[in-house]
A and B are shown apart, each in its own frame.
Chain A
Amino acid sequence: MAVLHTLVDRTSRQFAANRVAMLELLAQHDVEVAKAIGGGGDAYVARHRARGKLTARERIEMLLDRDAPFLEFSPLAAWGTQFHVGASIVTGIGIVAGIECVIIAHDPTVRGGTMNPYTLKKNLRARESARINRLPLVNLVESGGADLPTQADLFVPAGQIFHDLTLLSALGIPTIALVFGNSTAGGAYVPGMCDHAVFVDKRAKVFLGGPPLVKMATGEESDDESLGGAEMHSRVTGLCDYFATDEIDCIRIGREIFAALNWPKLGPGASRAPEEPLYDAEELLGIAGVDLRIPFDTREVIARIVDGSRFDEYKPTYGTSLLTGWASVCGFPVGVIANAQGVLFMEEAKKATEFIMLANQTDVPLVFLQNCTGYMVGRDYEQAGIIKDGAKMINAVTNSKVPHLTVILGASYGAGNYGMCGRAYGPRFLFAWPNSKMAVMGPQQLAGVMSIVARQSAESQSKPFDEEADALRTRAIEDQIERESHAFFNSGKVYDDGIIDPRDTRTVLGIALSSVHSNTIAGQRGYGVFRM
């Protein structure tokens, strides 16, 4: 395989400027992430600890194997909303007793671990990750249930939580509930729907209605323990399979459940020797620009992600605005599809289509590296059938059966977002760099289009066009789109699985690839490879 060479000039002004701007963004990101890590704040965390409880993150750390990685999803969920950053839940992929699994932990220090619409999105995405990657799911339960004022946006869709749990079980994917505290009303169905349940003595409260509700409903006097304590559920209902004396004991038992799962991975796993890239990932900070109008060479990014910086490029002289080629990451073979110049022309679309079919022929997962401003427009391109070629690419992406991993390195605009496997195209994982932007088009373009349309509308109705008002409106729209295309904003909406530090890209892809190999890796079959 050919080894990529680097042309990066570490001493250039552009490199230095990029690096400073990227570090500034990462620092802003750290500030936001710290809010998620801090949970409900020092006072609530202190109160939680005073009750002899571990925080959600401590529970996860104890559950994980020593030195195992933990790839956390969407720490910025609910960013830019009225809700706490992180959405009162911690989700991610870790390794327990040697088994890669999805972990969902309520953060009881944030409004009692209650669920808001963003919590739900993040929760359901983690469940989806468990399902599509065939990863066992463990719930670290302590939640006050729904955030009642937002019930209108929650109640109906939240039913999917329990639906998905039992669906996982039906698919043969193990589900485990470790109940540390409140798990009441709807929440009671979490242990109720899981294959395995462990309750902490005197802490777990698993009932449909608590003492006040029971009193209101039937007049019966009752207490927490008799309605839904660990001891009661262990001895009377059998809903609790394992009685834990305390939180540590609960986690210990949880690990033993994993140890006994007999859960081999179905994928072939890493088939090559992992090898560090030849070039320092640190340089990625100076390679990628924050100003997305300045293109950067995606080969330099690939050279800092793939094993040994080796990249076997497919059709290197055809459709050169898009890079395609074979490589491996942490020993896992991959096909890489990366924007080189941003725009997709007919050749690029056809090249991508063929490459995706090839990857399906040989069961090789695909990595999409997005820095894409969309499909080319203009008379020549329309008449040459850009729609048909773009449709081929979107068709291939949609019906491809090998796992897709997407990283947004910069721009993600228009149908380019779709063709390059955006969120709606079901990538197994989608991460974004902090400098990236995602929108139907760039802010200036969008504002400009709207200005032109308004001018045409005024002209067709022979009305005068208020230039001053148009300028104000255009700037307002630009500002709005700029804000809404920001990586934090999109991550807040759980349109990705999280923003990552560019320097972590290889590691994150390595964990993601290892996870997708929990399931079978099988491409689409039926037709052969069409030569476009």
Chain B
Amino acid sequence: MMRKLLIANRGEIACRVIRAAKELGIATVAVYSDADVDAPHVRLASEGVHLVGTSPGDTYLRGDLIIAAAVRLGADAIHPGYGFLSEHAEFAQACRDAGIVFVGPSPGAIAAMGNKIEAKARMAEAGVPVLGGATISADMDAAALTTTGAGVGYPILVKAAFGGGGRGMRIVREPSELREAVASAQREAAAAFGDGLVFLERYVESPRHIEVQIVGDMHGNVVHLFERECSIQRRHQKIIEEAPSTAVDAALRAELGAAAVAAGRAIDYVGAGTVEFVMAPDGQFYFLEVNTRLQVEHPITECITGIDLVQLQLGIAQGDVLPDAVMHAQIRGHAIEARLYAEDVPAGFVPMSGPLHCFDIGGDDVRVDSGYDTGTSVSTFYDAMLAKVIVWAPTRDLAATRLGRVLRDARIHGVITNRSLLVATLAHPDFVAGMTDTGFYDRHDPAMLGAADSSPTIQRAHAVASALVGALDRSTAIGAGFRNVGGLAQSTAWDFGGTQLIVEYTVQRDRTFAVAVDGAPVDVELVQRTADGIVVAFDGVRRPYRVHVVGATSYVDSALGSTECTMVARFPQPEILVTQGSLRSPLPGSVVAVHATLGAVVSQGEVLVALEAMKMEHSIRAPHDGVVSDIRVAVGTQVETGAILVVVDEHLQE
């Protein structure tokens, strides 16, 4: 019997596993890095062990420290969650050696599937359909690379042999692009997974991403729990997943299931795993990889089958036979999951960090898997996924509508999110019609779909709501802004990401407000101040506006939408002087390469620094010709947004 479980992970998945363990009466041990001292997963667990440091390499990837903690605290099992150590065969083996149950498949199965090149070969043997491809050895020269590329045929997908989640993945359409794509994929793979091995694969155009959940026990049973469709992706990362797929009928489902079970059997799979396929528009599907762990999007399978996959994993790990409910699972209704990220979509999915002044996703019949609470912070060290929001409904339409509403009504203050993109996608005619494939955002510009609420109507109403709340809060027993002689209106300016609105108001003798926006009088009737905002009739339409003020920033949520605006300071602060030609970090991240050398003559567009933020590499290029006059960072430096990286002096070049 399992008594105590150590969760070798963080964030929402750690919280998810802890909850499941608690329901089974199993004690829990959390591990946490310096950045996660106050994280919810630590608070949820019965015990916690500090892993000193912040980078994953010092903390959540330190299998030795984690096993030592498990031994010390008498944990009899370790759940690796997803990511981090979940697909490290060596770690699974080390657990086994220490007499601790690793909740997952055997080290052999992990190793077999961990190398995607070998995995493909093995699946081909087992009769699972695969795509053509080739491995790139580290010492392959340019000519050989060109030949190999031609052999596979364009378009080509460059992928990391170890790893997943889209990291190190590149699509190459022209032979000329292959070399650089391979080099950067190798670098990203090496940084992320500790192994830079990459391979090429024929790229299927307009594919759907279909994956099948499988579970196997120690008694030779392997079954599938139907498919999930995860085609809505941005930069190879899934953001909306659903089950079942609109493109899979019963016959295809049986075929997919059979292939997935065959794949599982081929490696004597024990535990929960996922067989990923790429599916062409004609319904042909090809093996991509097996993820030998719990998937991020596992909740939608849970919703349509009624099976708790984490509890099932724990049961399997204890040697239980798959229960009847799993052996004979049925699909009921439809489930959709949206991944809410802290990121600036229009800016190019730039990850955001900072404190969450309010984080409230509510509603009945909604499942929110999150590792954040109001008052916690999104750090630059880990994934910026704030929450998975999952809705189950009898029909797909209802699930999509409800999920959209829940996301719209959520109050998320402090960091910019992809909420608008999710909401717009769920309501998009193509999505509603089930026309989903991985090229969705190539056809529908995410910068447009994901633009923040910014109509003049909402900005006007929200600026007025913010101004009135401020006036009421500053109001005393003698009212606000009293003048016995004429007097000018109180004036506040509100900045919505560059658009400024000036709200002027005077408080009348009867305490009503006369309001003008940008000089034009507006019809505003203050109905009441509520605990979290005000009720205002604006142009005759009464709505509650929830106004949350943090410093100079006002977060307003209403039926019109959600906005963030800042009260423009009355007095400009003395300017912060910036050296001409300074290159600033556009986002928080860590420096992975410094190409610039002090005193070097550089030309406009030359890459000077490479930053890795979250899962992407960003090139910082010279803004103009000049001479590198200062370098402020080195490989490994963690930088915040706005940090000066390099200074290029354009006057020094001659």
Contacts and interface: CB of A to CB of B under 8 A. Distances in A.
Interface SS of chain A:
helix
B490 A507 contact: no
Contacts of A61: 487-488
A105 to B, nearest CB: 13
A61 B570 CA distance: 11
- The residue in B477, B482, B487, B488 that gathers the most chain A C-beta atoms within 10 A of its C-beta is B477
- The residue in A37, A61, A75, A330 that gathers the most chain B C-beta atoms within 10 A of its C-beta is A61
Contacts of B483: 69-70, 72
Interface stretch (B106-114, B186-194, B467-475): B467-475
Interface string A6-36: 0000000000000000000000000001101
A511 B492 contact: no
A58 B482 contact: no
Given A248-B572, A270-B477, A33 B485 contact: yes
Given A57-B488, A58-B488, A70 B482 contact: yes
B478 interface: yes
Interface in B458-472: 470-471
A77 to B, nearest CB: 12
Given A62-B570, A72-B483, A67 B490 contact: yes
B477 A69 contact: no
B509 interface: yes
Contact of A66 (B486, B570, B572): B570
A511 B486 contact: no
Nearest to A251: B571
Nearest to B478: A510
Contacts of B623: none
A72 B484 contact: yes
Given A70-B487, A251-B571, A270-B477, A503 B482 contact: no
Contact of B477 (A70, A251, A510): A510
B247 to A, nearest CB: 58
Interface in B304-339: none
Interface in A492-517: 498, 500-501, 503-504, 507-508, 510-511, 514
Given A66-B490, A248-B571, A500 B484 contact: yes
B153 interface: no
B181 interface: no
B480 interface: yes
B479 interface: yes
A274 interface: yes
A270 B483 CA distance: 21
Interface in A371-411: none
Contacts of B471: 66-67
B484 A501 contact: yes
B481 A67 contact: yes
Nearest to B481: A67
Given A66-B470, A252-B571, A507 B482 contact: yes
Given A37-B486, A255-B571, A69 B481 contact: yes
A69 B474 contact: no
Contact of B485 (A37, A65, A270): A37
Interface in A236-270: 248-249, 251-252, 255, 270
B571 to A, nearest CB: 4
A248 B572 CA distance: 9
A68 interface: yes
Contacts of A58: 488
Interface in B492-524: 492, 509-510
Contacts of B482: 69-71, 504, 507, 511
A34 B485 CA distance: 9
Interface residues of B, number: 23
Interface SS of chain B:
loop
A72 B485 contact: yes
Given A33-B485, A72-B483, A508-B484, A503 B509 contact: yes
A508 B477 CA distance: 12
Contacts of A251: 571
Given A503-B509, A510-B477, A510-B478, A66 B485 contact: no
A331 interface: yes
Given A62-B570, A248-B571, A252-B571, A69 B485 contact: no
A420 B510 CA distance: 31
Contacts of B486: 33-34, 37, 57
Interface string A325-338: 00000110000000
Contacts of B477: 270, 274, 330-331, 510
Contacts of A57: 486-488
A270 B487 CA distance: 27
Contact of A504 (B484, B487, B488, B490): B484
- The residue in B475, B479, B484 that gathers the most chain A C-beta atoms within 10 A of its C-beta is B484
A69 B482 CA distance: 4
Contact of A67 (B474, B488, B510, B572): B474
A282 B479 CA distance: 16
A68 B481 contact: yes
A405 B438 CA distance: 78
A82 to B, nearest CB: 22
A332 to B, nearest CB: 9
Nearest to A76: B485
Given A66-B470, A511-B478, A36 B570 contact: no
B493 to A, nearest CB: 12
Nearest to A329: B477
- The residue in A58, A69, A70, A514 that gathers the most chain B C-beta atoms within 10 A of its C-beta is A69
B484 A71 contact: yes
Interface string A45-70: 00000000000011001100111111
Contacts of A36: 485
B470 A498 contact: no
Contacts of B484: 70-72, 498, 500-501, 504, 507-508
A88 to B, nearest CB: 15
A70 B492 CA distance: 18
Nearest to A510: B478
B420 to A, nearest CB: 32
A248 B510 CA distance: 33
Contacts of B509: 281-282, 503-504
A510 B484 CA distance: 13
B282 to A, nearest CB: 65
Contact of A507 (B470, B475, B479): B479
Nearest to B480: A67
A237 B482 CA distance: 40
Nearest to A504: B484
Contacts of A70: 482-484, 487
Nearest to A499: B484
A288 to B, nearest CB: 17
Interface in B346-386: none
B486 to A, nearest CB: 4
A234 to B, nearest CB: 16
A510 B479 CA distance: 10
B571 A69 contact: no
Contacts of B485: 33, 36-37, 72, 75, 498
A72 B484 CA distance: 6
A248 B483 CA distance: 22
- The residue in B480, B485, B492 that gathers the most chain A C-beta atoms within 10 A of its C-beta is B485
Contacts of B572: 248
Contacts of B474: 65-68
A66 B488 contact: no
A331 B478 CA distance: 10
Given A33-B486, A58-B488, 8 more contacts: A57-B488, A61-B488, A66-B471, A69-B482, A252-B571, A330-B477, A504-B482, A508-B484
9 contacts: A37-B485, A57-B488, A61-B488, A75-B485, A255-B571, A274-B477, A331-B477, A504-B509, A514-B478
Interface of B: 470-471, 474-475, 477-488, 490, 492, 509-510, 570-572
8 closest A-B pairs (Cβ-Cβ)?
A274-B477, A69-B482, A252-B571, A67-B480, A330-B477, A67-B474, A72-B485, A510-B478
